[in-house]
Structure 1
Amino acid sequence: MSKVVVTPRSFAAHSDEPMQILLRNGCEVSLNPYGRIMTKSELVSMIGDADAIIVGVDPLDREVLERAERLRVISKYGVGTDNIDLRYAEERGIAVTVTPGSNTDAVADFTIALMLASARKLNEIDKACRQRNWSKRTTVDMHKQTLGLIGLGQIGKAVARRAAGFDMRILSFDRFRDEAYAAQHGIVYTESMDEVLKEADFISLHLPLTDDTRHLIGRAQFALMKETAVVVNTARGGLIDEEALFEALHTGRIWGAGIDVFEEEPPRNTSLLELDNLVIGSHCAASTVSAIDNMGILASQNLIRYL
């Protein structure tokens, strides 16, 4: 019998199929008992004799993996692998799998929701109305504005399809171009990221977190943006320098931001929590019933395939 550790708290929350896949294949399953992201020491205590793990954003660095002597497969519940030491996993011959496409639509929907909420100041309006303040607030449009996508992978493309319904002009910067898709959907690739930052009314990030992309958006990049710009990040915390983000929002350098991912969650800079022009998510863009079911089923199938 193979021992499997499962850390995502939403695993099999709405459908028992992900769990049944594991049980039907003779797995002994240990679930995250903490109701939150696990610490390194907590992971070490659970995976010492595990054959496989289904992991969310819990830290699987070398220090943790060295203690998992029997581990054969890491099945990522999602697609981002910045919490996993891929190099060490490869050295050990530990397979690493992801669940591409399982949460694409959920994240794309949430991205659009953050754009609208930020542009139309829904936080501020809702707060005022609860205080019986019915005064009008002038906001900015999404319709026929320019959307800049930094990264045009599956989720970026899904956001672009939704933005077409707002008659938006769409720009994108990506090292890897899908010219056919761009041509079909009227997306214009730019030669530099700076072009997107200068021209776009809405800027949405859809990149993995790597050494090259860490703090990709900082003070210099915010300085290029329009004062009416809205920045959205549903990709990975760390793509944006959070000190620079606070300054840009606090001083009115940009209109607003919708941020679902932070370097630490909750964010280390608690001043961010006090800003009315920041709409905050709890890393929940992928948390819909369908996406959770899809991720769980695919993560379990990937794990069994490799075991």
Structure 2
Amino acid sequence: MKILAALPNYSLYCAEAKRYLQEQGCEVIENETKGPLTFGQLSGLVGDVDGVIAGVDVWDERLMELAPKLKGIARFGVGVDNIDLEAAKKRGIQVCNCPGINTESVAEHALMLILSIMRYFPVLNQAAREGRWPRVMVRELRGKIVGLIGFGAVARNLAEKLQPFGCRITAYDKYPDEMAAKRLGVEMCGLDKVLEESDVLSLHVPALPDTYHLLDEKALEHCRDGVYIVNTSRGTIVDERVVYEGMRAGKIAGYGSDVFETEPVTAKYPLFEFDNYVCTPHTAAESYENYAQTGMATAQALLDVFAGKEPKNKLV
């Protein structure tokens, strides 16, 4: 069987998984670029592949038509908004993802962004490197109200990490896990209450039609003046135009994001004009530990598909 590992640096960070696949008689074709593959690049690779380990590359019906042998797509991560599930189902292509594995890495990243925007870390780091010695007053995270929008695995992990800071933690989720909330000392609330009371908001919902621009102008009006906001979920959860206006007006004291409405961004991205904006290029899940574990999980999923077994975390 031939497998396309579409994410970059597969041999470097998933060496064990690649070796495992090869031991099972699979040929592994790799993404030799430094970023996501475009449709044009993918179209020249998929003609005879049996399985795909997908990163953030887009797998739509147009591309699937060019891959008549494709039997399975294993998403190297959780979100599958880049995969047309209906088209896959129609073509008998099994799709699965890897929930829970990247939880630790993404939760750590979210905490890093929270602390970075509250303590102006990038600005002060750059000033010191340039020989400047500015005095900047910051707000401590200790004792603040942190609102989690979405209470899945990453949010629950973040709630654990916030406990030593003495934060009061609230959360909104369409399908609340009351037992986990009780265990973690998290108060489950309606969305409006979380927005209205939080000093810090951290977003943890998937990209779905009903979460598109969940943080819009109306939602921001509910927020406290001087709220800090962090997004490590998906860029489309936030209306970036509204965030820009909120930053400009001082309604938002700081915004940290690992994701963007359109990726990758350019040097002219509007939010770059704000010193209290901190971002990373969609790297929250990119830890050695996560890649090793997810590499093995996606490899096993495709081998299960090839063997006629149902892969773990099958979506279609």
TM-score by length of 1: 0.96
Any gaps of 5 or more consecutive residues in structure 2? 307-316
Distance 1:15 1:305 in 2: 18
Range with bigger deviation, 131-140 or 69-78: 131-140
Match in the other structure for 1:4:
3
Match in the other structure for 1:40:
39
Aligned positions, number: 305
| Residue 197 (structure 1) shift | 1.0
Match in the other structure for 2:158:
159
Distance 1:292 1:252 in 2: 38
| Residue 144 (structure 1) shift | 0.9
Match in the other structure for 1:291:
290
Say whether the 8 Å CA contact 1:54–1:299 is kept in structure 2.
yes
**What pairs up with 1:95-244 in 2 under 5 angstroms?**
95-191=94-190, 193-244=191-242
Match in the other structure for 1:63:
62
| Residue 148 (structure 1) shift | 0.5
Match in the other structure for 1:261:
259
* Percent identical residues: 34
Say whether the 8 Å CA contact 1:146–1:170 is kept in structure 2.
yes
Deviations along 1:260-299, one digit per CA (max 9) or x if unpaired, are 0112223366121222111001101111111111111111
| Residue 15 (structure 1) shift | 4.9
Range with bigger deviation, 8-17 or 24-33: 8-17
Say whether the 8 Å CA contact 1:150–1:206 is kept in structure 2.
yes
Distance 1:86 1:142 in 2: 40
| Residue 123 (structure 1) shift | 1.8
Distance 2:32 2:125 in 1: 36
Distance 2:66 2:117 in 1: 44
Distance 1:206 1:159 in 2: 10
Any gaps of 5 or more consecutive residues in structure 1? none
Distance 1:14 1:71 in 2: 24
| Residue 36 (structure 1) shift | 1.0
| Residue 45 (structure 1) shift | 1.5
Match in the other structure for 2:28:
29
Range with bigger deviation, 143-152 or 40-49: 40-49
Range with bigger deviation, 103-112 or 258-267: 258-267
What secondary structure sits across from 2:211 in the alignment? coil
| Residue 11 (structure 1) shift | 2.3
Say whether the 8 Å CA contact 2:6–2:31 is kept in structure 1.
yes
Deviations along 1:77-119, one digit per CA (max 9) or x if unpaired, are 0011000001111111111111122211000001000000001
Distance 2:155 2:283 in 1: 17
Distance 2:192 2:261 in 1: 23
Distance 1:130 1:20 in 2: 43
Distance 1:212 1:136 in 2: 43
| Residue 22 (structure 1) shift | 1.1
What secondary structure sits across from 1:38 in the alignment? coil
Specify the code of the residue in structure 1 equivalent to 2:242.
A
Say whether the 8 Å CA contact 1:12–1:293 is kept in structure 2.
no
| Residue 227 (structure 1) shift | 2.3
Deviations along 1:9-60, one digit per CA (max 9) or x if unpaired, are 1324235211012101111111012221111121122112111000000000
Q: Which 4+ residue blocks in structure 1 deviate beyond 6 angstroms?
A: none
Say whether the 8 Å CA contact 1:10–1:292 is kept in structure 2.
no
Distance 1:141 1:195 in 2: 22
Deviations along 1:154-209, one digit per CA (max 9) or x if unpaired, are 11100001011111111110011111111111111112x12111111111111110
Match in the other structure for 2:273:
274
| Residue 133 (structure 1) shift | 2.0
| Residue 3 (structure 1) shift | 1.0
Distance 1:148 1:229 in 2: 11
Say whether the 8 Å CA contact 1:12–1:296 is kept in structure 2.
no
Supply the RMSD in Å over aligned alpha carbons: 1.3
Distance 1:62 1:272 in 2: 34
- Give the 3 Å change call, closer, same or farther, for CA 171–54 of structure 1 in structure 2: same
| Residue 254 (structure 1) shift | 0.9
Say whether the 8 Å CA contact 2:231–2:257 is kept in structure 1.
yes
| Residue 231 (structure 1) shift | 0.6
Specify the code of the residue in structure 1 equivalent to 2:50.
D
